[in-house]
Amino acid sequence: MNNDFQFHVHQAESLVIDRSFAGDSFFKAGVKRFFARKSNVFGLVLLCLLIIMSIIGPHLSGWNYSEQHLDRANMAPRIPGILSGEENLPGTNGSIRVNRYEQLGLTDTYYYFGTDELGRDLFSRCFQGLRVSVLIALAAALIDLVIGINYGMISGYFGGKVDLCMQQIIDIAGSIPTLVVVTLLMLVLKPGIGTIIFALMLTGWMEMSIIARTQVLKLKEEEFVLASRTLGAGRFFILFKEILPNITGALITEIMVSIPSAIFLETFLSFVGLGLPIGSCSLGSLISSGFDSCLLHPYKLFPSMIVLILLMIACNLVADGLREAFDTRSVR
Amino acid sequence: MKKYIIKKLVLSVVTLLLIIFILFLLMNLMPGSPFNNPKLTPEQKEILIQSYGLDKPVLQRFFIYLGNMFKGDFGVSYSLSVNTPVLTLIRSRLPVSLLIGISAMLLGSAAGLIVGFLAAFHQGKAADIVCMILSVIGISVPSYIIAIALSYFVGFRLKWLPLLYDFRNPVLSGIMPVLALSVMVMSVIARFTRDEAVSVLKSDYVMFARSQGMSGRTILFHYVIRNSIMQVITVMTLLLVGLLTGSLVTEQIFSIPGIGFLLSSAISANDYNVVITLSFMYAAIYVVARLILDILYGIIDPRVRLGGER
């Protein structure tokens, strides 16, 4: 230490890594920003709860979602200690209070959300419908991942004629409204979850590919890409090993953004009667049939409606939070 | 500029032709035949098929169909109201849908702009948080759920407004459908306006204006609104198409005799000609809206028409 011209090798070594103020990668920093906001955490927790319920929910009440008990039709909700199973039936002169459970002598039967006009347990049906919505969300994410990202990245990275051609296709395909495509597909093909996913495959990837393309365009002239190229890396190596890890944040955000619209599309179609065939159930068809009888039995309408709203809010909160955390607003 | 407009025009026409072609192909793929009456003898069927020109090759039929379309002949309805030209059906239902759609658009945009600017000016404060919670809820809740909730609580429980649409009293019975449709418009525009306005407020020229001692109102009208309105108008145009989707169910719920109701009943009655024509109409509205938007952009922002990054 007393010789100024001596290298302090041992000291330099200990200073190489700054552990107390370690810098985060872009992705890690984004995740930290995401969890710093309460509304994001709330949305994420809600989303996780709903996903868990979509898995275990249909089995919780002990009744199958498609099991019919015609003698137990239109039972009001009954929950131990909270709801007695009574309901007001409106008539022309006032209304009467009825408890169908007592009439039928069912002392320890509990339908948490009541039953529908065929005596099917609405609790199981509601969460079975949620399961369909979650499935659709997964499909939408997968479509984004497989088609959207690849299409956009290739179009953006290769540029020139490839880009022009691919963008022209999007221009034309994108100007056919989704609703029109889906409606026609439903008429031509067999209605069902497969057809809805097929319709999503035709229409759902475009937004994502536009985002992926702009992100690639931003990065492809950067020095690290040039460095990789001078080292002899191939095009696809650069695209997927160099660029892709750097745009993960924006892509995850866009996946999350596209999910609510996919869920909306399915419930909307089922509500109109174009979605799932009769027999299977979706939140949309539950709301539709609940609406048909809501003047007499309002309890049929609300559970599925609230579950759908919660699901949409959770997805939108998470999507918003991600967008803010990864700051992709300026891109859109 | 001319070149840019012509390019966009050609592209739109190609798109529309392609859409017609796809629709036509799909129509041919539809299961079943129009002549499946068991009383028909094979000879009679032959005559019918010939008289409708169905014996010609697909491509030739497509051009005949196209020619008829240009003459304004979109075929007749099969099942909803037999042998009525589709165009007559649509013409009688369009005004109601347009009236409700445009009122919802106006109401929603006005409310959205106010909420958005309010939130931007009080960024991070209570007003901002309330506005943004409202807009998240508004975006999350589909318009048909709002319509159902309104018709149940306001129409059925409180009995403030008529449950169903009544053409003799369009104002009072139109309130609920308009409200149901405008919530989505409001939330999207509010959120978008807020983002745009916040980015304008953060800019150097606004900071400069502030440092000059300009009042908040001057900054709002002279800087923020002027610089953010163009983006907001873009979103509005695209929302117009979203309104069509919303009207499909809202009209069903309030039984409004409009285009959306026509489409949903045509779908359930398998009235193909009506479905195809309406689908084409929706697509055409979208394409034309985008064309106008692109041309407007080209006029306003030279960077767009001169190419490069899109």
Domains of chain B, each with CATH number or no CATH: 2-70 (no CATH), 95-270 (1.10.3720.10)
Please name the residues between 119 and 148 in chain B that touch chain A, using a CB distance below 8 Å.
136-137, 139-142, 144-145, 148
The reported pTM is: 0.80
B-chain residues near A180 (CB < 8 A): 279, 282-283
Residue A16 has pLDDT above 70, yes or no: no
Best of A42, A271, A302, A330 to mutate (most B CBs within 10 Å, chain B): A271
Helix (H) or strand (E) holding B205: helix B204-211
Q: Is the pLDDT reported for residue B175 higher than 60?
A: yes
Q: Residue A95 pLDDT more than 80? A: no
Contact B136 A329 (CB under 8 A): no
pLDDT 10s digits, B32-85: 555 556 677 777 777 777 766 666 777 777 788 788 877 777 777 766 676 778
CB spacing of A268 vs B245 below 8 angstroms = yes
Token pair listed for B229 = 């309105």
Other CB atoms within 10 Å distance of the CB of residue A188: 15
What pLDDT is attached to residue B310? 38
**Residues A51-66: tens digit of each pLDDT:** 988 888 777 777 777 7
B161 neighbors B172 (Cβ within 8 angstroms): yes
Size of interface A-B (CB pairs under 8 A): 107
Asked which of A255-259, B43-47, B108-112, B151-155 is least confident by mean pLDDT, the reply is B43-47
> Considering only CA atoms, which of A123, A130, A114, A266 is closest in space to residue A186?
A266
CA distance B221 to A205: 39
CA gap A290, A116 in Å, rounded:
8
Residue with tokens 């807020």: B194
Burial status of residue A23 (CB atoms within 10 A of its CB: 0-12, 13-18, 19 or more): exposed
Q: Token digits for A238? A: 């650069």
Q: What confidence tier does A45 reach under pLDDT thresholds 50, 70, 90?
A: very high
Residues of B in contact with A317 (CB under 8 A): 136
Q: Which of residues 262-281 of B touch A (CB under 8 A)?
A: 263-264, 267-268, 270, 272, 275, 279
Cβ distance B140 to A287 less than 8 Å, yes or no, reads no
Distance from CA of B222 to the nearest CA of A (A): 23
Chain centre distance of CA A304: 17
- State the greatest distance between any 2 C-alpha atoms of chain A, in Å, as a whole number: 105
Q: Say how far apart CA A111 and CA A67 lie, in whole Å.
A: 13
Q: Which residues pair with A79 in a beta bridge?
A: A83
Chain A residues within 8 A of B252 when measuring between CB atoms: 272
Put simply, the answer to whether B30 touches A187 (Cβ < 8 Å) is: yes
Q: Which residue of B has its CA nearest to A189?
A: B30
CA gap A54, A130 in Å, rounded = 6
pLDDT score of B214: 77
Q: Report pLDDT for A111.
A: 79
Chain A residue with CA closest to B156: the answer is A295
For A54, A57, A176, A182, A307, the CA distances from A49, given in Å and listed in that order, are: 9, 10, 36, 30, 11
Q: What is the pLDDT of residue B37?
A: 63
Instruction: Say how far apart CA A149 and CA A156 lie, in whole Å.
Output: 10
Cβ proximity of A112 and A79 under 8 Å? yes
Smallest CA-to-CA distance from B188 within B149, B246, B227, B147 is with B246
Q: Do A184 and B15 touch (CB under 8 A)?
A: no
Per-residue confidence at A251, pLDDT binned at 50, 70, 90? confident
8 Å CB contact between A319 and A253: yes
Best probe of the A interface among B17, B130, B148, by most A CBs < 10 A, is: B148
Contacts 24+ apart (CB under 8 A), A305-309: A305/B145, A305/B148, A305/B149, A307/A50, A307/A126, A307/A127, A307/A129, A307/A130, A307/A283, A308/A133, A308/A263, A308/A267, A308/A283, A308/A284, A308/B142, A308/B145, A309/B140, A309/B141, A309/B145
Distance CA A199, CA A183 (A): 9
Cα–Cα distance, B130 to B149 (Å, whole number)? 21
Report d(CA A115, CA A121) in Å as an integer: 5
Mean pLDDT: which of A58-72, A128-142, B211-225 is highest? A128-142
A271–B136 C-beta distance less than 8 A:
no
Question: For chain A, which domains are there?
Answer: 26-68+123-326 (1.10.3720.10)
Q: What are phi and psi of A245, to 5 degrees?
A: -60, -25
Interface residues of A toward B, Cβ cutoff 8 Å, are: 167-168, 171-172, 175-177, 179-180, 183-184, 186-188, 217, 260, 264, 267-268, 271-274, 287, 291, 294-295, 298, 301, 305, 308-309, 312-313, 315-317, 320, 329-330
Q: How far is CA A214 from CA B83, B192, B238, B309, in A?
A: 51, 20, 21, 9
> Would you say A36 and A317 are in contact if contact means Cβ atoms under 8 Å apart?
no
The answer to whether residue B19 neighbours chain A at the CB level (below 8 Å) is yes
DSSP E strand stretches across chain A:
78-79, 83-84, 86-90, 95-99
Nearest to B140 among A298, A313, A330 (CB): A313
Q: Mark yes or no for CB contact B267/A273 under 8 Å.
A: yes
- Chain A CB contacts of B244 under 8 Å are 177, 179
Tell me if B264 and A272 make a contact (CB, 8 A cut-off). Answer: yes
Of A140-149, A217-226, A283-292, B239-248, the one with minimum mean pLDDT is B239-248
Nearest chain B residue to A314 by CA: give it.
Answer: B140
Residue A137 has pLDDT above 50, yes or no: yes
Calpha distance A77→A105 (Å, rounded): 16
β-strand partners of A89: A96
